[in-house]
């Protein structure tokens, strides 16, 4: 297989690409040759600059993924303006924390709507395009969902997040079962503890930081580029026979 990780000529839609893991994935895909559509509600100009520095195109598509209303228009715009859609990365997500005895319906719905409902309908919109293209003789489509350590573990005080990320793992397997023979690979990445703005408080807490590092065999926090490398693999021809897999990129957290 010649240059199995080369994504030249491919078009990737990445949600929540403005910072952190989403930005790391977008830049890694671009460095491997893909053009990027950054879809989300937060400005992603910095990501666009990093993508363009690799020589690839970056289309910014504003969309509030707390509802499914903007999903089909966003996918249609990416296809129209960039010329297709080969790779979907469902990274956008939110979290709400409270004891389960006090957890509100509003916090439940907000997380489920963004982290699970919007993810499914993005898969559906992209999948329809990828399946039709493959049936017409085109290449394979790649869908990569961002799961979590809580797709395997229970966690505490994040009931809707745990439910959503467990659902992401299940949907990834279901869609792989349905779409593998139709030219679409559906897999997920479960990040461990990654150095991002979202984990800044944990990193700054000396006690929690020490406890986390003691549990990670690698002995360090992950970096967004660690997730980017896994995304390049799953998006590439090297992973054409990988289906329904939840790839933990956690420094060995689950092994401990």
pLDDT over threshold 90, residue 110? yes
What number of helices (H) and strands (E) belong to the chain?
Answer: 9, 7
CATH number for the domain whose boundaries are 11-246: 3.40.50.720
pLDDT over threshold 90, residue 200? no
Contact 141, 134 (CB under 8 A): yes
Contact 134, 183 (CB under 8 A): yes
Catalytic residue IDs: 161
User: What residues form DSSP beta bridges with 40?
Assistant: 62
pLDDT of amino acid 197 = 84
Rounded average pLDDT over 92-118: 97
- What pLDDT, in 10s, does the model give residues 78-101? 999 999 999 999 999 999 999 999
pLDDT over threshold 70, residue 122? yes
> 218 falls in which pLDDT band (50, 70, 90)?
very high
> 1 falls in which pLDDT band (50, 70, 90)?
low
Secondary structure element (H or E) that encloses residue 105, with its range: helix 105-112
pLDDT of amino acid 235 = 98
pLDDT over threshold 80, residue 2? no
pLDDT of amino acid 252 = 98
Rounded average pLDDT over 194-211: 90
User: What residues form DSSP beta bridges with 61?
Assistant: 39
Compute the distance between CA of residue 123 and CA of residue 179 in angstroms, rounded to an integer. 11
Domain residue limits, the chain: 11-246
Contact 234, 4 (CB under 8 A): no
pLDDT over threshold 70, residue 225? yes
> 202 falls in which pLDDT band (50, 70, 90)?
confident
- What pLDDT, in 10s, does the model give residues 10-20? 999 999 999 99
pLDDT of amino acid 201 = 83
- What pLDDT, in 10s, does the model give residues 153-167? 999 999 999 999 999
């Amino acid at each position: 297989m010649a240059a199995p990780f080369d994504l030249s000529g491919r078009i990737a839609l990445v949600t929540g690409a403005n910072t952190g893991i989403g930005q790391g994935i977008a830049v890694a895909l671009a460095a491997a040759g893909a053009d990027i559509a950054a879809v989300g509600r937060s400005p992603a100009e910095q990501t666009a600059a990093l993508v363009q520095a690799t020589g690839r195109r970056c289309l910014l598509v504003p969309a509030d993924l707390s509802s499914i209303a903007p999903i089909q228009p966003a996918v249609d715009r990416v296809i129209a303006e960039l010329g297709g859609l080969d790779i979907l990365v469902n990274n956008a997500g939110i979290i709400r924390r409270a004891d389960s005895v006090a957890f509100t319906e509003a916090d439940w719905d907000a997380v489920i709507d963004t982290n699970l409902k919007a993810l499914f309908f993005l898969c559906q919109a992209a999948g329809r395009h990828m399946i039709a293209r493959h049936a017409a003789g085109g290449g394979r489509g790649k869908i990569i969902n961002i799961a979590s350590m809580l797709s395997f573990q229970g966690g505490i005080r994040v009931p809707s997040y745990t439910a959503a990320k467990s659902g992401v793992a299940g949907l990834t397997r279901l869609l792989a079962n349905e779409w593998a023979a139709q030219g679409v690979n559906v897999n997920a990445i479960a990040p461990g503890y990654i150095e991002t703005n979202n984990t800044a408080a944990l990193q700054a807490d000396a006690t929690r930081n020490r406890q986390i590092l003691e549990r990670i065999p690698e002995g360090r926090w992950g970096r967004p580029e660690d997730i980017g490398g896994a995304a390049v693999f799953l998006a590439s021809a090297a992973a054409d026979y990988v289906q329904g897999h939840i790839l933990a990129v956690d420094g060995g957290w689950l092994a401990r």
